[in-house]
Chains A and B, each alone.
Chain A
């Protein structure tokens, strides 16, 4: 069982092997939960959405054709689920950007006992998270797929149903927007100030 590829598992599921689904979930749960968590910024919502992603995979088993790499297809399902979730939340009056700002991990909060350096690092992380949460949805998704999940331009294009040049441009804008938002927190280049003074 353990030696089966993702595609083999998916085809087995299509043929009625329910254990194949369990194996697929076990194999990809952390990647999917990580993506939904980084996208939504909330642990409970992230697991609920990740569950929806796998249920969509389950429901699509009968139509599955191994035309693309399984993970590309899985990320496509996950990306759509993320985009739909945010769209649906916007329609609900309770949604706000603050919902994306939940402190990320146990111990990540800034306690009074933290040494100043740690508190500074923690603040920086929060700023980066907040800046990431403020990015337009597709830019955020593109950045996450690229930085955390190692998807190349072509795989991202398939996952986000866009052309490769469009993905490239999305990534450029995402990085640039993020840079502008966290610029005050970026380390100043050693010779930057002097060079700029010299140039102008």
Chain B
């Protein structure tokens, strides 16, 4: 063990050289150094440590190599028709949404219109037994459009 390293071990390794090595090699400053995140003063201090510590230097070299190997992996650019496909898909989805909303609305409106225009539309006359009909609003006000549609169809069937 070099004098330099012997001087460092008691401070960092809790008396166990192997554990001291491992601890030094897990130093997060290695990564911050690689990422250029150390402040100038810290960087200078860490560079001094690196110069004095072959194991730390070696680990830095390995990590740098890992970065280089990852960066060298081939990528893949979008194929020629990609943008056109995406834009088409966006339009299709918008159209789909419009259809999902607009078609039921139009159908409901048509049914309502048909019911409104029916010649005999309006509340039936009071029954002979004296039963008083509720107003249209009371009867239909809280019903969903589809229920209303069913009701109208039933009424039409009955006429």
Contacts and interface: CB of A to CB of B under 8 A. Distances in A.
B74 A104 contact: yes
Nearest to A54: B86
B93 interface: yes
Nearest to A58: B90
Contacts of B73: 38, 104, 125, 128-129, 132
B77 A30 contact: yes
A34 B76 contact: yes
A195 B55 contact: yes
A199 B31 CA distance: 24
Interface of A is mostly: helix
A51 B86 contact: yes
Contact of A21 (B2, B31, B87): B87
B72 A125 contact: yes
Interface residues of B, number: 40
Given A51-B85, A191-B54, A178 B70 contact: yes
A187 interface: yes
Interface string A175-198: 110110011001101011001101
Given A21-B87, A38-B76, A187-B65, 19 more contacts: A18-B91, A22-B87, A25-B87, A29-B77, A29-B82, A33-B82, A46-B76, A50-B78, A55-B90, A104-B74, A125-B69, A129-B73, A132-B73, A143-B70, A176-B63, A182-B69, A189-B61, A191-B54, A199-B5
Q: Kindly list the 7 A-B residue pairs having the minimum CB-CB distance in the complex, ordered from nearest.
A: A37-B76, A29-B78, A105-B74, A33-B78, A34-B75, A195-B54, A58-B90
Interface of B: 1-2, 5, 21, 26, 28, 31-32, 35, 37, 54-55, 57-58, 61-63, 65-67, 69-79, 82-83, 85-87, 89-91, 93
